[in-house]
Amino acid sequence: MPGRPGADHREAGGKQRVKDLGTSDVNDNSHAWPMPGSNVTPVGFDAAGKRRQWTINGDFVALQPTGVARYAREVTLALDRLVAEGHPLARDLDLTVVVPAPARESLPLRATEVEVVPEFRRPRLPQLWVQLQLPGHVRGGLLSFCNLAPVAVSRQIVCIHDLQTRLVPESYGRFFRLAHGLILPLLGRRVARITTVSSFSRDNLVGAGIAPAEKITITYNGSDHARHWDADRSCLPDAARPYALALARNQWHKSPDLLIRLAPLLDGLGLDLWLYGDGDEAMVAQHASVRPSNLRLLGRVSDDDLRRALENAVCFLFPSRMEGFGLPAVEAMVCECPVISAPFPCLPEVCGVAALYADPDDPQAWAAKVERLARDSVLRRAQIEKGKIRARDFSWRRIATCYLELMAEVDRENRQEARPGGFTPQRS
């Protein structure tokens, strides 16, 4: 990256190295923002001319790129682009992604170093890498995007997407609920900033006492990643009949029972029901004594396959009773697929008028909405256009810029605290 100080040691695509587990650069807080107008070196540099350092918690690279892992991946890529472009808030910034293993999916970074800190083989316990190994490799501040984060690092910005484990506990295992119940309140008290993905999630965090409202910033999610999906690369076969498409997970709040009960009603309309995701035959058998003949289980699909499925579907069904954001609905809008959603928070906040709504306890209402979209081409076209407009409101670049602003605030406050007689500014 020509012209960018300190960049000559990086390679195109990001440089990977495995760091010796016996060494660490723990919480180097010397790289901070001086106060505007102060008689010191330029913003972002300390008196020794050092650059600001921030580390990204790369635990997401081992996960399927959906949900919180999609958020982490896309924000990381957007931050990297802003640094590479020389954004004013990133000209003095060095980013490092610390990961437990090489990424499952290519992570094309231009200006961010990738550091591999292998996960301990024994014992292999959930959160061991995040809580015990990662903190010893954090330089400067830390960005954590996937709910749980190292409690030991206070100079940190953490994205807590939702409180699903409290709001719909029946959808999660006991250990998963316990980990969230113990760690999230500690993070809310210790870390510098909390981000979340909707007003609904912010209100839940405040109401549960996780963090005060003034400590929480709403970023939402982005949608632009779905514009890069290419249906021409899809391997999905052609559909025999028109179909509605839905994401299937056997969790109570995802309403798998509604989808299985809806299938025969759609069959009566001459439509199939395609389900992608983790839904399997066992899920179908749990909710139906006889398997609907028009039900097609796709399993996990690639992004390109999902694009083709959405582009050719009559509509996308999203009967979830609880979401932090509801990214699949916005992805459908990008792919010009009309959305029918449950009317529960935060889906009306995210989808607005770009979705039709139906109660997930009423299969007949869902069938009626699907029939309207299948029969009324004017309505369908209008919903597609509303969805395209709504999806443009959600941008990973804007989210990354928000993180740059928060990082600058944290660095500035850290610099003030480090001065003799320094204080911690209060946010109004």
* Parallel, antiparallel or unpaired: strands 52-57 and 141-144: parallel
Across 43-47, 242-246, 387-391, least confident range: 43-47
Give residue 363's pLDDT: 98
- Mean pLDDT, residues 54-70 taken together: 93
Helix (H) or strand (E) holding 247, with range, is strand 243-248
The answer to the question of residue 11 being in a domain is: no
Summarised one tens digit per residue, pLDDT across range 400-425 is 999 999 999 999 999 888 776 654 44
Residue 238 to residue 235: CA distance in whole angstroms: 9
The answer to the question of residue 102 being in a domain is: yes
* CATH value at residue 291: 3.40.50.2000
The answer to the question of residue 333 being in a domain is: yes
DSSP for 102-121 reads S-SS----SSEEEEE-PPPS
For residue 14, pLDDT beyond 70: no
For residue 31, pLDDT beyond 90: no
Summarised one tens digit per residue, pLDDT across range 330-344 is 999 999 999 999 999
In angstroms, what CA-CA distances link 367 with 214, 374, 376, 400? 43, 10, 14, 39
Q: Could you give the number of structural domains in the chain?
A: 2
Summarised one tens digit per residue, pLDDT across range 296-335 is 999 999 999 999 999 999 999 999 999 999 999 999 999 9
- Mean pLDDT, residues 191-218 taken together: 98
Residue 265 to residue 312: CA distance in whole angstroms: 20
Q: 411 and 385, same structural domain?
A: no
Residue 275 to residue 253: CA distance in whole angstroms: 16
The answer to the question of residue 3 being in a domain is: no
58-87-69 Cα angle (round to 5): 25
With cut-offs at 50, 70 and 90, classify the pLDDT of residue 267: very high
For residue 386, pLDDT beyond 70: yes
Q: 287 and 154, same structural domain?
A: no
Q: 376 and 250, same structural domain?
A: yes
Q: 313 and 198, same structural domain?
A: no
Q: 368 and 247, same structural domain?
A: yes
- Mean pLDDT, residues 356-375 taken together: 98
The answer to the question of residue 413 being in a domain is: yes
Give residue 420's pLDDT: 64
The answer to the question of residue 1 being in a domain is: no
The answer to the question of residue 427 being in a domain is: no
- Mean pLDDT, residues 266-293 taken together: 96
The answer to the question of residue 10 being in a domain is: no
- Domain residues for the domain of 258 are 225-391
Q: 399 and 331, same structural domain?
A: no
Q: Alpha helices, DSSP H only, in 105-226?
A: 128, 164-167, 174-190, 199-207
Q: 382 and 253, same structural domain?
A: yes
Q: 196 and 323, same structural domain?
A: no
pTM (2 d.p.):
0.86
Q: 292 and 354, same structural domain?
A: yes
Ramachandran class of 10: left when φ > 0, alpha when ψ lies in -120 to 50, beta otherwise: beta
Across 123-137, 174-188, 264-278, 279-293, least confident range: 123-137
- Mean pLDDT, residues 233-253 taken together: 96
Q: Tell me which amino acid residue 244 is.
A: A
Across 30-39, 77-86, 234-243, 363-372, least confident range: 30-39
Residue 355 to residue 369: CA distance in whole angstroms: 11
With cut-offs at 50, 70 and 90, classify the pLDDT of residue 105: confident
Q: 414 and 271, same structural domain?
A: no
Give residue 4's pLDDT: 36
Q: 271 and 190, same structural domain?
A: no
Q: 135 and 89, same structural domain?
A: yes
C-beta atoms surrounding 129 within 10 Å? 23
20 burial via Cβ count (<10 Å: 0-12, 13-18, 19+): exposed
